[in-house]
Structure 1
Amino acid sequence: MAKFVLAGRTDCPVYAKAELLADRLECCLPNFQIHKMSILPDEWKQWLEATCRKNGWKHKDSPLVWRELVDQGGKGMLLGGFSEFLEHCQDYYDITSDMSEEEMRSIAAENLEAKMTFLEEQRQRASLINPLHMLIGSALSPKCLFLIPNLLSGEALPSVSLISLHLLDLDGSEEDLQQLKRDTEELAFPRLHQVIVHSDVQRAFQKADIVILLDDAPSDSSGPEEEDEDEEDVEKRKVRRISERYREYGRMIDEGASKEVKVIVAPDSYANLACSLLLENAPTVDSSRFVAVSTQLENEARAVLAKKLDVKTSDVTDVIVWGNVSSSFYVDLQRAKVYNCDGAISGPSFFSQPVLKIIHEREWLETDFPDLVRSQRATLASKTSRAAAMSSTNGILTILKAWNGLCHPDEVFSLGVMCSGHFDLPEGIVFSVPVTFKDGEWSVFKRVTVKEELEDRLQLLASEIAEEKELASEDTKRTEDTEDS
């Protein structure tokens, strides 16, 4: 079977003549196949150069004709331009072309008009499809192995019919991102509209409806200079890198994302600072659209309590995490409840008891419990840990579900949000506080008692977060002064 590929510039008269000759061959020869490729005039040169480079050919004009070796495999065999194609048809099939130049130009004009009409119809059809645009930053993080399938399954976003998944990783390679794209497409989720890999940060955030940022302080390969750094220098360097990246992300969100975007910040370190930097650099987007996930901390604390009480982790609820998601925090049990606890008082499955009335060991609560939670956090801190990725992913999905109305309005979550005077916390910092969700919006849950001891703890945590933010501001100012000079 003879299979030829005929490619040419849409408005090329010679390409039109070659088309008619190919059509005649197909009519006369049942085993002759031709595949036509009509390339727009402004795209022709780039397409031709790329095709010739890929196949090791040399060709300059329109059209380009080659033969596909369908029975042998391998790359195609270059035939040449129109003259070579005509000569081949005359020698092998005794068929020629006698089209006039006027006919060639007329058909070329019709080709261009038909191509433009086809493209316009494609654009109109595409405009009728309105997928949800979701961007994941640091998409090569191990968390995404758990996150992507769950996002596309529909469990967290049941009302969304189509998702355009955008992948960005400024520290990863294009090859690895393309492999992740292929792996994602092979999952064959019906909700997946397309997967787009980005190297351009600005384009990545265009029209984004949901942004999930996992970026930690980028690794540095500067080498020996880092060996002599003390702990303070290392922290400053990490803060500087986080600051640079999240300030840029904030500007891109402000310029290109939907004004109703939902931004979920969930790195392993500096989550509060990262969220705060986004807010500073996205002034036209409402601050309520940015949150730092502390749910994984909350779940880890619940797991410690569940083990102590010999119940399932899901039987412990309403644990509150205050403070800095990735650093200094305080686990508050004043509202914590436990279900299905085998104690002096028991009841049906919907019966709960306050945790503080079940656990009477004050020393354990004040000393062992915080240490166990921090130990649990340290165990899960490694980036290579599958457990860490699972825990973080579960926290992200929990908040995403709640944000999309998949929770009871009385359910309390811990969430890093911008302070606006609640609990007498200083304004302008991102602080983990108790919140509830209703109708797709979160609000600070204020039915908690903040006594003097707790207030002192919160102020101390707030001051540490403020210092972290000040360190980032100083570094940014220093960078700007250096650039100006």
Structure 2
Amino acid sequence: MTKPTMKVLVTGAAGQICYSLIGMIASGQMLGFDQPIILHLLEVPVAMDALKGVCMEITDSAYPLVKKVVATSDYQEAFTDIDVCIMVGAMPRKDGMERKDLLEKNASIFKGQGEALEKYSKKSVKVLVVGNPANTNCLIAKTYAPSIPAENFSALTRLDHNRAKAQVADRLGVNVSDVHNVTIWGNHSSTQYPDVSHGYVTINGEKKSITEAVNDDAWLKGDFISTVQKRGAAVIAARKLSSATSAAKAIVDHVHDWVLGTPEGEWVSMAIPSDGSYGIPEGVIYSFPVTCKDGVVTIVQGLKIDDFSRNKMEVTDKELREEKQLALN
């Protein structure tokens, strides 16, 4: 039986992340290879010519799952009756721009898009914010869409999660699929805390804790953490552009698991509204270890938090609360 068509909105659709992302969505990697979609692509007016080129490429790729493409700069047309909203477009940080300036510019963008979600979108829409500062931009959008359930909002830390898995796999010389249950706590920023203390790795069919397998506490608490925290900057330094393909892959992973579910016994990292779990008070969008089933996100409970982890988790929580104050003021 043919599934009902889903409407997927991507903002900033002519940008470099979306150039990698849209083909992945259109091919079925995100929502399933049997899921027909209508693509809603939103851009600012000055980028509409570039977006026309993207649409030409979608047409020329002849994706069987794509039933229609709506390319627009109009919020009503873009946000009406969407099922999934991926907010990639945001004001980038420029030379000489203070963090508060970036937050101020993006606050107005995500306020407007939150209001559009509230006015035009389905109340069941799943919203993923990618544009940085992603956690706080997500908080702003959620604030201005009060009738959409809070649990329908999330920000992207799956890229950091994937980076952490890859670093462990590289260190141990195993496939990345053999690394399980790493966690990203907190903000998608240089204060994030990549935590492997509850994860495990499969080597020659045998399960071992990552801590035991790596057997190098100094690396796990030092270079590993800083490498993941600063990976985005390292990519920019190398290619003179920010992460695009890896960000697109992480977006696809995030939404795929949210909609279709995480494997049994496996958790992933998503930035979601804090509910007080692990001593992180409500009021911020904070990355937790989560499982997903039937479209519902559940924070993994009962993980032991040692003093080292607690300190790292509080540092990133503090930054998020400072961002919140700057943005909402």
TM-score band, normalised by shorter chain: over 0.9
Structural RMSD (CA): 2.2
CA distance in 2, matches of 1:433, 1:366: 19
State how 1:14-29 maps to structure 2 within 5 Å.
Answer: none
Equivalent position to 1:178, from 38, 52, 55: 52
Following TM superposition, where does structure 1 have runs of at least 4 consecutive aligned residues deviating by more than 3 angstroms? 381-387
Shift in CA distance, 130/320, structure 1 to aligned 2, threshold 3 Å: closer
3-state secondary structure, aligned to 1:133: strand
CA distance in 2, matches of 1:171, 1:334: 47
The residue that corresponds to 1:90 in the other structure is none
Residues 383 and 389 of structure 1 are in contact (CA less than 8 Å); yes or no, is this contact kept in structure 2? no
The residue that corresponds to 1:194 in the other structure is 68
> Is 1:139 paired with 2:3?
no
The residue that corresponds to 2:126 in the other structure is 262
Residues 270 and 327 of structure 1 are in contact (CA less than 8 Å); yes or no, is this contact kept in structure 2? no
The residue that corresponds to 1:442 in the other structure is 297
Residues 300 and 377 of structure 1 are in contact (CA less than 8 Å); yes or no, is this contact kept in structure 2? no
Alignment-mate amino acid for residue 328 of structure 2: S
The residue that corresponds to 2:151 in the other structure is 288
State how 1:344-359 maps to structure 2 within 5 Å.
Answer: 347-348=204-205, 351-359=206-214
3-state secondary structure, aligned to 2:198: coil
CA distance in 2, matches of 1:142, 1:471: 28
Residues 214 and 265 of structure 1 are in contact (CA less than 8 Å); yes or no, is this contact kept in structure 2? yes
What do the CA deviations read for 1:321-355 (whole angstroms, capped 9, x no partner)? 11111341011111121122xxxxxx43xx32101
Alignment-mate amino acid for residue 198 of structure 1: T
CA distance in 1, matches of 2:134, 2:45: 18
Residues 267 and 289 of structure 2 are in contact (CA less than 8 Å); yes or no, is this contact kept in structure 1? yes
Shift in CA distance, 138/387, structure 1 to aligned 2, threshold 3 Å: closer
CA distance in 2, matches of 1:219, 1:406: 34
CA distance in 2, matches of 1:290, 1:152: 22
Residues 414 and 435 of structure 1 are in contact (CA less than 8 Å); yes or no, is this contact kept in structure 2? yes
Shift in CA distance, 397/452, structure 1 to aligned 2, threshold 3 Å: same
CA distance in 2, matches of 1:279, 1:150: 26
State how 1:202-213 maps to structure 2 within 5 Å.
Answer: 202-213=76-87
The residue that corresponds to 1:149 in the other structure is 23
Shift in CA distance, 238/259, structure 1 to aligned 2, threshold 3 Å: same
CA distance in 2, matches of 1:237, 1:153: 38
Shift in CA distance, 366/452, structure 1 to aligned 2, threshold 3 Å: closer
Equivalent position to 2:42, from 164, 168, 187: 168
3-state secondary structure, aligned to 2:260: coil
How much has 1:166 moved relative to structure 2? 1.0
State how 1:95-110 maps to structure 2 within 5 Å.
Answer: none
Alignment-mate amino acid for residue 196 of structure 2: L
What do the CA deviations read for 1:144-190 (whole angstroms, capped 9, x no partner)? 22211211112322275431111112274221111111111111111
How much has 1:365 moved relative to structure 2? 1.9
Shift in CA distance, 411/386, structure 1 to aligned 2, threshold 3 Å: farther
The residue that corresponds to 1:250 in the other structure is 114
CA distance in 2, matches of 1:427, 1:201: 30
CA distance in 2, matches of 1:394, 1:322: 20
- Greater mean deviation of Cα atoms: 435-444 or 402-411: 402-411
How much has 1:416 moved relative to structure 2? 0.3
Alignment-mate amino acid for residue 292 of structure 1: A
CA distance in 2, matches of 1:393, 1:287: 24
The residue that corresponds to 1:303 in the other structure is 166
Q: Which has the larger radius of gyration?
A: 1
Residues 164 and 194 of structure 2 are in contact (CA less than 8 Å); yes or no, is this contact kept in structure 1? yes
TM-score normalised to structure 1 length: 0.64
The residue that corresponds to 2:191 in the other structure is 328
Shift in CA distance, 171/234, structure 1 to aligned 2, threshold 3 Å: farther
3-state secondary structure, aligned to 1:284: coil
CA distance in 1, matches of 2:102, 2:58: 31
Residues 218 and 241 of structure 1 are in contact (CA less than 8 Å); yes or no, is this contact kept in structure 2? no
The residue that corresponds to 2:102 in the other structure is 238
Q: Unaligned regions of 5+ residues in structure 2, if any? A: none
Shift in CA distance, 382/441, structure 1 to aligned 2, threshold 3 Å: farther
CA distance in 1, matches of 2:74, 2:108: 16
CA distance in 2, matches of 1:275, 1:132: 22
How much has 1:307 moved relative to structure 2? 1.7
Residues 260 and 293 of structure 2 are in contact (CA less than 8 Å); yes or no, is this contact kept in structure 1? yes
Report which structure shows greater RCO (CA 8 Å, sep ≥6).
Answer: 2
Alignment-mate amino acid for residue 410 of structure 1: G
Residues 129 and 137 of structure 2 are in contact (CA less than 8 Å); yes or no, is this contact kept in structure 1? yes
Residues 412 and 435 of structure 1 are in contact (CA less than 8 Å); yes or no, is this contact kept in structure 2? yes
How much has 1:204 moved relative to structure 2? 1.0
CA distance in 2, matches of 1:245, 1:383: 30
Alignment-mate amino acid for residue 308 of structure 1: R
The residue that corresponds to 1:414 in the other structure is 269
How much has 1:377 moved relative to structure 2? 2.9
Shift in CA distance, 390/180, structure 1 to aligned 2, threshold 3 Å: same
How much has 1:389 moved relative to structure 2? 1.2
The residue that corresponds to 1:338 in the other structure is 201
Q: Report sequence identity in percent.
A: 26
Shift in CA distance, 246/159, structure 1 to aligned 2, threshold 3 Å: same
Residues 171 and 218 of structure 1 are in contact (CA less than 8 Å); yes or no, is this contact kept in structure 2? no
The residue that corresponds to 1:120 in the other structure is none
How much has 1:385 moved relative to structure 2? 6.4
State how 1:54-73 maps to structure 2 within 5 Å.
Answer: none
Residues 295 and 396 of structure 1 are in contact (CA less than 8 Å); yes or no, is this contact kept in structure 2? yes
Shift in CA distance, 153/383, structure 1 to aligned 2, threshold 3 Å: farther
Alignment-mate amino acid for residue 267 of structure 2: V
CA distance in 2, matches of 1:404, 1:385: 34
Alignment-mate amino acid for residue 233 of structure 2: A
Shift in CA distance, 383/404, structure 1 to aligned 2, threshold 3 Å: farther
How much has 1:372 moved relative to structure 2? 2.4
How much has 1:238 moved relative to structure 2? 0.8
3-state secondary structure, aligned to 1:404: helix
Alignment-mate amino acid for residue 167 of structure 1: L
> Is 1:315 paired with 2:178?
yes
How much has 1:313 moved relative to structure 2? 2.0
Shift in CA distance, 319/219, structure 1 to aligned 2, threshold 3 Å: closer
